[in-house]
């Protein structure tokens, strides 16, 4: 038995060294990246998934696939050891070689975590058992599939496809599967009770895989595995190809999924029925009248929207008053196990803008109906402007307010010297620069001009083509939906550069016509500077206006972001309230990319202005 072990070590020593070194470097990097996840032991969980999975696949390939495809297994069978002993040695050798780097990484992370979290022997045992069970399951699965030779890729594909189907169509999420549940994100925080059911199920599956491995190796005196190691014949390739194409076609037809149960709000003021029903949660005896008025308006918005866009369905809308958030911040709750749209806002607050909240609710309803496709960047300006136009179309006072906001937005964007058509197509950058309030007003101005130029009927045709079609929530939607350019042409809209020039002229005329644009505030310099600290860290200083000047109350919004970070939601930005210059309450490492901006509320426009917004990299 010892010569067999030494043979495996000599043959695979360089691969093992590379695996172990990659595990060491990977662990060092993971320990740095998970510093904000609440526990340094989160790095060990990631190590299990990434480097543990890589090691499992590599060991199975080296110990099994390479042995049989290279026919060296025939030489081993001439030795005075039984076939079962050869398989057992290989299996156990791989398991030990997998356990060594994982155990070393676990020990290192325990040493690092000892100064940051409380470690008890029971807690350490729980993490070790859960992580070890998952690794053993993965290794047993990979070892068994490796023995199937030329069908191993077919089995891996079938396994991945089956997991996808169960997760998507049977509504049984992967994170709830027993082997994966063992190493969920909560693994490093659950200290008391072990997940007995998940452990037992995983151990049972692992035992079945081990038994199946020995049965496959010993069947027909080992000739079955040897036959499977040969290359596929042309006939087999044709059969596999046809089977794959058939499965993909079948999945494409499985659009009907198990419907989620509707979300319910037990104590609420309800208006409307069916797809236009709106329920506003009660928060006190004095708020019922306000809640009823808001529910009636929102229900009317949704009912008229369904008629206008010919929507075949609509979500039930639920409104949760939340006094803990800013009056100009609106949020949508995530519903993993139920259906509906749940929005939150500071209803009843002093500066709460009911029209803005209704427009936000309409946008979320369209996002639900189109499975998020309405928010693609090339048409996002049209969505933002359409929802504002929908709420303001019968209110001249609201239109005047939006016109003033749009004029200020145009001044801040310097539309007289920029390519406005490019800014409309890259609307997320405009939203990030101006903030929600001004960008929504600018989008409304563009939509109002579009309605004038193409007329109500063709504008309705355009919005119906982009927002009124209900596509399946899968890859087929990319082939079925109309592109923005096609929908624009079919609506007989003017050439996009021509439309952008018309918008520029309209905005310049608005700037001359409207009054009370807060130039003094907009022209105040906004300064963000990085100052070096010890250890390669930086602190960020901010200033609005002159040095040490006292300003109206403002908020500094900031976040550390990645190089390819998409749109930044306001709720994801940290906030510091101030009236004069200061320093952000956290430090950043050299080379970090951060977003910074200053926001202040203008009472005349009833709008939060965003100044000096930019993404920049620390030196």
Instruction: Report the alpha-carbon distance of residue 600 to residue 12 in Å, rounded.
Output: 63
Tokens for 563, please give them.
């190089």
Per-residue model confidence (pLDDT) at position 591 = 86
Instruction: Report the alpha-carbon distance of residue 36 to residue 39 in Å, rounded.
Output: 8
Tokens for 516, please give them.
């009370």
Residue 321 has pLDDT above 80, yes or no: yes
Instruction: Compute CA 185 distance to the chain's CA centroid, rounded to the nearest angstrom.
Output: 16
Mean pLDDT of 268-294: 79
| pLDDT band, very low/low/confident/very high, at 517 (cuts 50, 70, 90) | low
By percentage, how much of the chain surpasses pLDDT 90?
32
Under DSSP, is residue 398 helix (H, G, I), strand (E, B) or coil? helix
Per-residue model confidence (pLDDT) at position 77 = 59
Residue 254 has pLDDT above 60, yes or no: no
Backbone dihedral region for residue 414 (phi beyond 0: left; psi -120 to 50: alpha; all else: beta): left
Per-residue model confidence (pLDDT) at position 598 = 94
Tokens for 85, please give them.
């002993």
Q: In the chain, what is the greatest distance between 2 CA atoms, to the nearest angstrom?
A: 99
Residues 6+ away with beta carbon under 8 Å from 75? none
Instruction: Report the alpha-carbon distance of residue 133 to residue 135 in Å, rounded.
Output: 5
Per-residue model confidence (pLDDT) at position 497 = 92
Q: Is residue 184 within 8 Å of residue 195, measured between CB atoms?
A: no
Residue 342 has pLDDT above 90, yes or no: yes
Per the model's pLDDT, the better-predicted residue between 3 and 155 turns out to be 155
Per-residue model confidence (pLDDT) at position 5 = 67
Q: Is residue 524 within 8 Å of residue 563, measured between CB atoms?
A: no
**Tokens 């991945």 belong to which residue?**
160
Instruction: Report the alpha-carbon distance of residue 388 to residue 402 in Å, rounded.
Output: 9
Residues of the chain with CATH 2.60.40: 519-617
Q: Of how many residues is the chain composed?
A: 619
Q: What is the DSSP letter of 533?
A: -
Residues 6+ away with beta carbon under 8 Å from 294? 280, 319, 347, 354
Mean pLDDT of 5-10: 69
Element (H, E) at 268: strand 268-271
- Tally helices (H) and strands (E) across the chain: 23, 12
Mean pLDDT of 181-195: 78
For the 519-617 domain, the top CATH level (class) is: mainly beta
The DSSP line for 455-467 is: HHHHHHHHHHHHH
Per the model's pLDDT, the better-predicted residue between 137 and 78 turns out to be 137
Residue 213 has pLDDT above 60, yes or no: yes
Instruction: Report the alpha-carbon distance of residue 42 to residue 184 in Å, rounded.
Output: 10
Q: What is the mean pLDDT of the chain?
A: 83
Residue 471 has pLDDT above 60, yes or no: yes
Q: What is the DSSP letter of 176?
A: G
Residue 288 has pLDDT above 50, yes or no: yes
Per-residue model confidence (pLDDT) at position 256 = 47
Tokens for 575, please give them.
């906030």
Residue 168 has pLDDT above 60, yes or no: yes
The DSSP line for 7-45 is: HHHHHHHHHHHHHHHHHHHHHHHHHHHTTTSS-TTHHHH
**Tokens 């070096």 belong to which residue?**
532
Mean pLDDT of 409-434: 89
Mean pLDDT of 335-345: 85
Per-residue model confidence (pLDDT) at position 519 = 60
């Amino acid at each position: 038995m010892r010569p067999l072990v030494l043979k495996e070590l000599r043959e695979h020593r360089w691969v093992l060294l590379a695996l172990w070194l990659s595990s060491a470097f990977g662990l060092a990097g993971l320990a740095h990246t998970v510093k904000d996840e609440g526990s340094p032991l989160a790095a060990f969980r990631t190590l299990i998934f990434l480097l543990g999975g890589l090691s499992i696949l590599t060991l199975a390939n080296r110990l099994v696939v390479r042995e049989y495809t290279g026919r060296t297994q025939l030489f081993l069978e001439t030795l005075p050891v039984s076939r079962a002993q050869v398989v057992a040695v290989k299996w156990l050798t791989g398991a030990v070689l997998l356990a060594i780097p994982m155990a070393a990484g676990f020990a290192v992370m325990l040493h690092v975590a000892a100064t940051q979290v409380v470690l008890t022997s029971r807690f350490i045992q729980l993490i070790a058992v859960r992580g070890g069970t998952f690794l053993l399951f993965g290794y047993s699965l990979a070892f068994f599939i490796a023995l199937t030779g030329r069908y191993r890729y077919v089995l891996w594909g079938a396994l991945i496809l089956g997991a996808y189907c169960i997760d998507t169509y049977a509504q049984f999420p992967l994170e709830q599967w027993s082997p994966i549940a063992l190493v969920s994100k909560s693994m490093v925080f659950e200290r008391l009770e072990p997940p007995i059911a998940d452990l037992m199920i995983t151990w049972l599956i692992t035992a079945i895989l081990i038994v199946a491995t020995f049965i496959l190796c010993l069947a027909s005196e080992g000739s079955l595995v040897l036959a499977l190691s040969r290359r596929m014949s042309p006939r087999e390739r044709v059969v596999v190809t046809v089977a794959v194409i058939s499965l993909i076609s079948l999945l494409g037809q499985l659009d009907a999924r198990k419907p989620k149960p509707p979300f319910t709000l037990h104590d609420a003021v309800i208006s409307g029925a069916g797809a236009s029903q709106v329920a506003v949660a009660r928060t006190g005896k004095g708020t019922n009248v306000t809640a009823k008025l808001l529910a009636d308006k929102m229900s009317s918005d949704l009912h008229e929207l369904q008629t206008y866009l010919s929507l075949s369905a609509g979500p039930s809308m639920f409104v949760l008053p939340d006094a803990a958030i800013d009056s100009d911040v609106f949020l949508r709750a995530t519903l993993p196990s139920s259906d509906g749209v749940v929005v939150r806002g500071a209803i009843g607050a002093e500066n709460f803008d009911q029209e803005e909240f209704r427009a936000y609710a309409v946008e979320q309803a369209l996002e639900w109906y189109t499975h998020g496709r309405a928010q693609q960047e090339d048409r996002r300006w049209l969505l933002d402007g359409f929802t504002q136009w929908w709420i303001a179309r019968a209110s001249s006072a609201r239109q005047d307010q939006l016109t003033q906001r749009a004029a200020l937005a145009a001044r801040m964007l310097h539309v007289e010297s920029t390519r406005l058509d490019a800014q409309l197509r890259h609307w997320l950058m405009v939203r990030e620069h101006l903030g929600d309030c001004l960008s929504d007003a600018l989008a409304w101005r563009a939509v109002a001009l579009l309605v004038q130029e193409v007329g109500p009927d063709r504008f309705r045709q355009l919005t119906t083509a982009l927002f009124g079609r209900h596509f399946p929530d899968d890859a087929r939607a990319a082939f079925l939906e109309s592109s923005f350019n096609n929908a624009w042409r079919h609506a007989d809209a003017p050439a996009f550069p021509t439309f952008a020039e018309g918008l520029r002229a309209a905005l310049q005329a608005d700037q001359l016509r409207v009054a009370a644009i807060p130039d003094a505030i907009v022209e105040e310099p906004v300064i963000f500077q990085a100052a070096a600290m010890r250890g390669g860290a930086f602190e960020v200083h901010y200033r609005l206006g002159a040095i040490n000047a006292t300003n109206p109350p403002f908020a500094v919004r900031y976040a550390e972001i990645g190089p390819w970070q998409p749109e930044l939601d306001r709720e994801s930005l940290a906030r510091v309230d101030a009236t004069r210059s200061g320093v952000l309450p956290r430090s950043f490492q050299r080379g970090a990319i951060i977003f910074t901006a200053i926001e202040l509320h203008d009472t005349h426009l009833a709008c939060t202005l965003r100044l000096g917004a930019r993404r920049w990299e620390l030196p």
